[in-house]
């Protein structure tokens, strides 16, 4: 059993059918949902056989090619397995350019569908016109870029590192042009040469009265901005260590994986149309992340916290998923709530603020027994390398060079020092292995 029943947000299918586009359109035009293929009407997993990679690609291509407006960034096709049986899950978000319809058929009752209970129904012409009149006009792809002489060297490098082919159609496939064949605001956000400013402020104390650092990560591609902020989050995530007899206990300021989700969400779902960027603020007792735009229309606070997805910027979401910053739709908030309470979220009409508390009480309680990992015998670059390896064991030397803004030769030279002193070691092959911090380094810093 899959543990669900067919309802407004759930559809079961034994196999891929000819009307899968119709089912997806109904979810896009209603509140989003999930289609499970390889599952019977009662929720029993029957499983799928054959070339399932090809089946996934077929589903993706059909949704991409046969639905208008573009549903890119609004769906995921996931291969799951339970009790030895494989099935496919199509996750569909609520669309923000409704009504969606079958390509080539126009916005007619024969082409536009909605979800009513567990059924798919045709929309009437009046509802189609009402939805069209409310369609979001200020999507990133419809706004003209304030600059037209844009370059995308950084973005292309990120895509190539992920194994994508970067050809002459690369920018067009990413929807970087408006209807007049001009660069749009999506292209502007991801270009090398924009004027986007994203601030990371650090304060001494628990309020904004004593600013000690204000770093600007802007004026470059949003993917580079994201990488830089995540690197900053790693470096600020201090580790405290308590030593007891034959044991060593580490305490981090915050759960990096949860914070990574929140940082990425703030950047991807920010309302960039109003000209305001997200803001990141580090205090002695918390990390505060603020993004603009509030919850998307039609999604309640409870639905937001349950992970029902309604991406504000689906084209941007698509890029971030391609590059591995985002996994599948609707899972980020749920991962955050495994580490933090719902109360960290504060909702306002025009923005969302998340306050991630540090484990201050535990720090205070054990202050006399805790020791900060200073690694005083390493230089600053080597400390940064060690901290990045701790949080990202699979990190490559190329990624380290990019994140730490040094050339690869410098990284290789400092790696040699760490390896020769047996402070780090390589586990596994170059392609699939990872870096490990050795016990020797941990013992020497204690």
Taking CA atoms, 147 is separated from 117, 144, 153, 182, 379, in Å, by 46, 8, 16, 10, 41
Residue 243 pLDDT exceeds 80: no
| CA angle, residues 432, 252, 374, in degrees to nearest 5 | 90
Asked whether the CA dihedral 247, 335, 60, 42 is positive or negative, the reply is positive
Residue 241 pLDDT exceeds 80: no
- Please check whether residue 123 is in contact with residue 29, taking contact to mean a CB–CB distance below 8 angstroms: yes
Domains and CATH numbers, the chain: 10-133 (3.30.950.30), 140-190 (no CATH), 199-363 (3.30.565.60), 374-445 (1.10.10.10)
Neighbouring C-alpha atoms within 13 Å toward the C-beta of 283: 17
List the alpha helices (DSSP H) in 276-341.
301-306, 314-322, 332-336
Task: Please tell me the predicted confidence (pLDDT) of residue 267.
Answer: 97
Inter-axis angle of helices 408-420 and 397-404, to 10 degrees? 120
Burial of residue 122, with CB atoms counted within 10 A of its CB: 0-12 exposed, 13-18 middle, 19 or more buried? middle
Taking CA atoms, 368 is separated from 247, 288, 344, 372, in Å, by 17, 28, 29, 11
Question: What percentage of residues in the chain have a pLDDT greater than 70?
Answer: 91
Task: Please tell me the predicted confidence (pLDDT) of residue 22.
Answer: 97
Give the highest mean pLDDT range of 185-199, 308-322, 363-377, 380-394. Answer: 185-199
Q: Tokens for 445?
A: 């810093």
Of residues 109 and 249, more confidence is placed in 109
Residue 218 pLDDT exceeds 60: yes
Residue 233, classed as helix, strand or coil, is helix
Query: DSSP letter string over 34-61?
Result: EEEESB-TTS-B----S-HHHHHHHHHH
Q: Tokens for 101?
A: 């319809």
- pLDDT, one tens digit per residue, over 294-315 is 888 778 898 888 887 678 899 9
What are the backbone angles phi and psi of residue 400, rounded to the nearest 5°? -60, -45
User: Which position has the token pair 């990045």?
Assistant: 388
Task: Please tell me the predicted confidence (pLDDT) of residue 369.
Answer: 35
- pLDDT, one tens digit per residue, over 119-172 is 999 999 999 988 887 775 568 988 999 999 999 999 999 999 999 999 999 999
Residue 261 pLDDT exceeds 80: yes
Task: Please tell me the predicted confidence (pLDDT) of residue 137.
Answer: 58
Binned at pLDDT 50, 70 and 90, residue 242 comes out as: low
Dist CA 185 CA 437 (whole Å): 43
Stretch 281-296: mean pLDDT, rounded?
93
Task: Please tell me the predicted confidence (pLDDT) of residue 109.
Answer: 95
Stretch 374-401: mean pLDDT, rounded?
83
Instruction: Quote the mean pLDDT of the chain.
Output: 88
Asked whether the CA dihedral 411, 413, 418, 419 is positive or negative, the reply is positive
Dist CA 318 CA 5 (whole Å): 29
Dist CA 40 CA 52 (whole Å): 18
What are the backbone angles phi and psi of residue 183, rounded to the nearest 5°? -60, 135
Binned at pLDDT 50, 70 and 90, residue 438 comes out as: confident
Query: DSSP letter string over 60-71?
Result: HHHHHHHEES--
Query: Nearest-CA neighbor of 92 among 38, 29, 36, 33?
Result: 33
- pLDDT, one tens digit per residue, over 416-432 is 999 999 989 998 877 77
- pLDDT, one tens digit per residue, over 345-386 is 999 989 999 999 997 544 444 443 333 344 667 888 998 898
Tell me the Cα Rg of the chain.
Answer: 24
């Amino acid at each position: 059993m899959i543990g669900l029943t067919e309802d407004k947000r759930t559809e079961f299918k034994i196999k891929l059918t000819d009307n899968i586009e119709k089912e997806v359109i109904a979810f896009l035009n209603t509140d989003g949902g999930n289609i499970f293929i390889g599952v019977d009407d009662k929720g029993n997993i029957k499983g799928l056989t054959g070339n399932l990679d090809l089946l996934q690609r077929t589903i993706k291509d059909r949704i991409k090619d046969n639905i208008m407006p573009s549903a890119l960034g609004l769906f995921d096709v996931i291969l799951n397995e339970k009790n030895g049986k494989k099935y496919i899950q199509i996750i569909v978000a609520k669309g923000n350019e409704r009504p969606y319809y079958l390509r080539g058929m126009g916005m007619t009752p024969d082409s536009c569908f909605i979800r009513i209970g567990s059924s798919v129904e045709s929309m009437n012409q009046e509802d189609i016109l009402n939805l069209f009149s409310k369609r979001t006009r200020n999507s990133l792809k419809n706004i003209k870029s304030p600059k037209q002489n844009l370059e995308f060297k950084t973005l292309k490098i990120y895509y190539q590192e992920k194994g994508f082919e970067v050809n002459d159609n690369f920018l067009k496939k990413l929807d970087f042009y408006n209807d007049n064949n001009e660069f749009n605001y999506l292209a502007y956000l991801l270009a090398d040469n924009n004027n986007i400013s994203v601030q990371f402020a650090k304060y001494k104390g628990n309020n904004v009265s004593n600013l000690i650092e204000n770093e600007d990560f802007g004026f470059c591609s949003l993917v580079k901005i994201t990488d830089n902020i995540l690197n900053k989050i790693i470096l600020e995530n201090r580790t405290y260590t308590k030593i007891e007899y034959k044991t060593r206990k580490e305490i981090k300021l915050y759960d990096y994986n949860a914070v990574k989700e929140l940082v990425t969400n703030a950047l991807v779902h920010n309302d960039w149309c109003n000209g305001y960027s997200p803001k990141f603020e580090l205090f002695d007792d918390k990390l505060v992340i603020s993004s603009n735009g509030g919850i998307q229309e039609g999604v309640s606070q409870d639905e937001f916290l349950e992970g029902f997805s309604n991406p504000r910027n689906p084209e941007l979401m698509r890029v971030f998923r391609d590059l591995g910053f985002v996994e599948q739709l609707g899972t980020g908030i749920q991962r955050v709530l495994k580490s933090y309470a719902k109360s960290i979220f504060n909702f306002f009409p025009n923005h969302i603020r998340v306050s991630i508390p540090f484990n201050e009480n535990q720090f205070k309680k054990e202050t006399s027994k805790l020791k900060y990992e200073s690694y005083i015998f390493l230089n600053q670059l080597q400390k940064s390398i060690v901290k990045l390896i701790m949080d990202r064991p699979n990190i490559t030397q190329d990624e380290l060079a990019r994140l730490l803004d040094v050339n690869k030769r410098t990284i290789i030279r400092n790696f040699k020092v760490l390896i020769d002193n047996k402070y780090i070691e390589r586990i596994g092959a170059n392609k699939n292995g990872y870096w490990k911090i050795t016990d020797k380094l941990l013992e020497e810093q204690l």
